[in-house]
Chain A
Amino acid sequence: MKRKHKRLTFVGLALLLLATAAALTLSAFEESIVFFQSPTDIVTKSVSPNKRYRLGGLVEEGSVRKKDDAVVTFRITDMANTVNVSYRGILPDLFREGQGVVTEGFFVSDVFTADEVLAKHDENYMPPEVADALKKSGKWNEMSSKMKKQGHVLGGGSQ
């Protein structure tokens, strides 16, 4: 085998690998990419029942209810619209009323049934997606001044 052929073998192999990766990527992208929605998006656009979404906003004050069998229900709001959420399991440590949360799951009729609740935020108590959703709903300033009063410093609000 000549040097050139040897090189071609490897180039071919590399292309094959890349093609496999591309094919796998394209097929997985359809199914496994999850879009972030704010409560306003959910209310104004139609949602498909079998599609996975990421829903984020603030946990509405006073909306957290504990049900039987470790089920918790609460409402997520962007101060303009709200969505009912139900979740079975232990809520994350940083989950709190009035603070930002991101949930992932499906719609079962009108209730968003989350199988994952992320109260994963930086030290400034606000996931950036949620901050953006609040800005979109025009409630950012209201929220930010309210939280400043409570002693939180809001991040991502410099734009």
Chain B
Amino acid sequence: MIAEAGHFALILALFIAIVQASLPMVGAHHGNALWMSFDKPSAIAQMLMVSLAFACLTYSHVVSDFSVLNVVQNSHSMKPMLYKVAGVWGNHEGSLVLWVFILAAFGSAVAIFGNNLPPTLRARVLAVQALISVGFYLFMLLTSNPFERVFPAAMDGRGLNPLLQDPGLAFHPPFLYLGYVGFSMAFSFAIAALIEGRVDAAWARWVRPWTLAAWSFLTIGIGLGSWWAYYELGWGGWWFWDPVENASFMPWLAGTALLHSAIVVEKRDTMKTWTIFLAILAFSLSLLGTFLVRSGVLTSVHAFATDPERGVFILLLLVIVIGGSLTLFAIRGPALRSTGIFKPISREGGLLLNNLVLTTGCAVVLLGTLYPLFLDAVGGGKVSVGAPFFNAVFIPLMIPMFVAMGFGPILSWKRSDLIQAALRLKTAFILTGLICAVILALLNHGPFLAIVGLGLAMWLFVATLVELGERIRLFKGPLKESFGRLFSQTRASWGMTLAHSGMAIVIAGMAGVGGWKVEKIQVMKPGDTVNVAGYDYKFIGARQGQGPNYTVIEGKFEVTQDGQHVIVLSAEKRNYPVRQMPTTEAAIHSLFSGDLYAVIGDPEGNDGKFVTRLYFNPLVAWMWAGSLIMAFGAFVSISDRRYRVGAPSRHKIKNVKVVEASGIGQT
């Protein structure tokens, strides 16, 4: 019954979405207030129906209802509760339910909190949002029904892929989807604005919080994914430039560009067409990511059952959404008028540079990701474009941006002076120079790129703090006054300071682990000691054990530094009998200076010898700490006063004009 209820709720949601996509859109076109007013109730009703469907699927997983195919294929009665719930979205059909659930939740959030939006804009935004939903509902109901029954009911399930049975990965998809789907908000606002023919500061003020939210969720999602790869795959690596990773990285790059260009639209009333384009791009890349990951054209743990029919459907959806929105953009985009004028050396210029670099970088990642598919399609053979390509192309492109990132915030709007800015940053130059000199003296060796990376991280961090100091006029007046200014800074500027310094910390982490990682592979017998970067790893021995739904070999290492005890690491190799699949659980101890990391492999002979892999990964944890700071910065920025207090409303008189103008524009 429960499964049928869920199925029925999905069908109802489809019909509600069709209403929501059509009536308010037509109503907004003709200025029919009654038709437009359907937007809010239908968005909320749609959300309720999808929540019901999601709840039904979750219930089926939680009670292990093995008459539902999806539960049989992805769950097992012996599985811990966390993974029974996470198993809901750990498969193709369930992840789509999660996707539409988040989509509907965002839509209803606009309906509930969007009372200050002009009625036509809100109607159009929600209609576009519903159009996307319709596509996904059809996809689910026609090709991937999560509520399909099996008869007779199975005795037990096949279990969730053990690689996915991990707390980090349990929450990785929801965050990623909050990010992907969050960009649908910016997309819907962009399409609505194109239809209205109007983009202004108020529009940007509505779009920016959604973009910031999506961006910070995506940042957390990508961070979780890379953290998982780091400790679960047991290679000590954290980013492999795997197509699946790139699929989430491209929307992040476009989204980063978008949230910067939206500032220019808001403050300076220019770069409108470009911002609209970025909004379309960010969501298109999110869809492309879904397609790449879900259609099975790529091999990975993410590629669930390969079904050509599904692939074609997603491809069709992709063509309609991207093709349609870009066509609309081509027709209506040029009509958007900008008033703000600025010189190349200005805050706007800096933000534009950021945008150009990020989109170029995004294009490079897209090229590297799609090239193997393209070459294979034209019969050019199978190739893989991996880390060496991206490291050689992407990283050099980013370097000038990180240099400029120190200058950007200190430049004034409209026109600025580079020499003056450099003078204001002189403290940053001196500090960076000093710290770099000290670091170089301490590390007299290391790869060039990693040293450059550390220097950049230092520069960005110091310049961001110096900029904050400049803003509060630190040491230029009484200290008390400066402190007063510190507390009167807007939340948005705090957000920027946090996010930029978080980025600096991330770069430091990447440079550290990229340049000075130490890896030792050997066979060890109990009592053996191996020195890794100054730490002595002593192999104590391994023993057999039993987990809730797996057997385990647990190897213990005592780590000492100069005879001082640091920690006992316990690395595991698990075997999940349901799927006959082993997994590696690396033992990790994070220190400020880096991670102690141990992996146990296969036994060698019968005398307790094991193959072991021991690492010292310098600064690696900084990456995840930095990404959390970035995501936190975005949330601080969202909480800024101007997004909450009446500010986003257009003037009443202008409002009347909008209705008139849009009426004229479309007849």
Q: A36 to chain B: which residues have CB within 8 Å? A: 381-384
Interface positions, chain B 358-394, Cβ under 8 Å from A, are 360-361, 363-364, 367, 371, 381-386, 388-389, 392-393
- In the complex, the answer to whether B306 meets A156 with C-beta atoms within 8 Å is yes
A6-B342, A18-B360, A90-B602 known; A28 vs B389 contact (CB < 8 Å): yes
CB distance from B376 to the nearest CB of A (A): 9
- Give A14 to B274 CA distance when docked, in angstroms: 13
Q: A35 to chain B: which residues have CB within 8 Å? A: 381-383
Interface, chain B (partner A; CB < 8 A): 161, 163, 233-234, 296, 299-301, 303-306, 308, 341-344, 349, 352-353, 356-357, 360-361, 363-364, 367, 371, 381-386, 388-389, 392-393, 396-397, 521-523, 573, 581-584, 599, 601-602, 604, 611-613
Q: Which of A78-86, A105-113, A124-132, A137-145 is found at the contact surface with chain B?
A: A124-132
- In the complex, the answer to whether A93 meets B396 with C-beta atoms within 8 Å is no
- Give A92 to B229 CA distance when docked, in angstroms: 13
- In the complex, the answer to whether B384 meets A33 with C-beta atoms within 8 Å is yes
Interface positions, chain A 40-74, Cβ under 8 Å from B, are 54, 66, 68-70
Given A13-B344, A35-B383, output 14 extra A-B contacts at Cβ < 8 Å.
A9-B344, A13-B353, A14-B360, A21-B360, A25-B389, A32-B392, A34-B386, A70-B521, A70-B522, A88-B521, A89-B521, A93-B234, A93-B581, A124-B306
- In the complex, the answer to whether B381 meets A17 with C-beta atoms within 8 Å is no
- Give A107 to B308 CA distance when docked, in angstroms: 36
- Give A121 to B581 CA distance when docked, in angstroms: 12
Q: A34 to chain B: which residues have CB within 8 Å? A: 383-386
Residue of A nearest to B573 (CB): A93
Q: B300 to chain A: which residues have CB within 8 Å? A: 120, 122
- Give A124 to B163 CA distance when docked, in angstroms: 14
- Give A80 to B352 CA distance when docked, in angstroms: 56
- Give A34 to B392 CA distance when docked, in angstroms: 15
CB distance from B43 to the nearest CB of A (A): 36
Interface, chain A (partner B; CB < 8 A): 1, 3, 6, 9-10, 13-14, 17-18, 20-21, 24-25, 27-29, 31-36, 54, 66, 68-70, 88-94, 104, 120-124, 127-129, 132, 155-156, 158
- Give A6 to B522 CA distance when docked, in angstroms: 61
Ordered nearest first, which 3 A-B pairs have the shortest CB separation?
A: A32-B388, A90-B601, A36-B382
- Give A52 to B465 CA distance when docked, in angstroms: 45
- In the complex, the answer to whether B386 meets A32 with C-beta atoms within 8 Å is yes
A90-B611, A93-B583 known; A25 vs B364 contact (CB < 8 Å): yes
Q: A128 to chain B: which residues have CB within 8 Å? A: 299
Q: B392 to chain A: which residues have CB within 8 Å? A: 24, 27-28, 31-32
A9-B344, A28-B388, A33-B389 known; A122 vs B601 contact (CB < 8 Å): no
- In the complex, the answer to whether A90 meets B613 with C-beta atoms within 8 Å is yes
Residue of A nearest to B234 (CB): A90
- Give A6 to B308 CA distance when docked, in angstroms: 49
Q: B383 to chain A: which residues have CB within 8 Å? A: 33-36
- In the complex, the answer to whether B301 meets A122 with C-beta atoms within 8 Å is yes
- Give A70 to B384 CA distance when docked, in angstroms: 27
Residue of A nearest to B346 (CB): A6
- In the complex, the answer to whether A13 meets B356 with C-beta atoms within 8 Å is yes
Q: B303 to chain A: which residues have CB within 8 Å? A: 122
CB distance from A97 to the nearest CB of B (A): 13
Which of A21, A89, A120 is within 8 Å of B397, CB to CB?
A21
Residue of B nearest to A133 (CB): B382
- In the complex, the answer to whether B234 meets A123 with C-beta atoms within 8 Å is no
- Give A11 to B371 CA distance when docked, in angstroms: 27
Contact sample, A vs B, 18 pairs, CB 8 Å cutoff: A6-B342, A17-B356, A17-B357, A28-B393, A32-B392, A33-B383, A35-B382, A36-B381, A70-B523, A89-B521, A90-B602, A93-B573, A120-B299, A120-B300, A121-B299, A122-B299, A128-B299, A155-B296
- In the complex, the answer to whether A89 meets B613 with C-beta atoms within 8 Å is yes
- In the complex, the answer to whether B308 meets A158 with C-beta atoms within 8 Å is yes
CB distance from A155 to the nearest CB of B (A): 5
Which of B353, B396, B604 is within 8 Å of A24, CB to CB?
B396
Q: B381 to chain A: which residues have CB within 8 Å? A: 35-36
Q: A13 to chain B: which residues have CB within 8 Å? A: 344, 353, 356
CB distance from B343 to the nearest CB of A (A): 6
CB distance from A134 to the nearest CB of B (A): 13
- In the complex, the answer to whether A122 meets B602 with C-beta atoms within 8 Å is no
- In the complex, the answer to whether B352 meets A155 with C-beta atoms within 8 Å is no
CB distance from A122 to the nearest CB of B (A): 5
- In the complex, the answer to whether B344 meets A6 with C-beta atoms within 8 Å is yes
- In the complex, the answer to whether B304 meets A123 with C-beta atoms within 8 Å is yes
Q: B363 to chain A: which residues have CB within 8 Å? A: 18, 21
CB distance from A150 to the nearest CB of B (A): 11
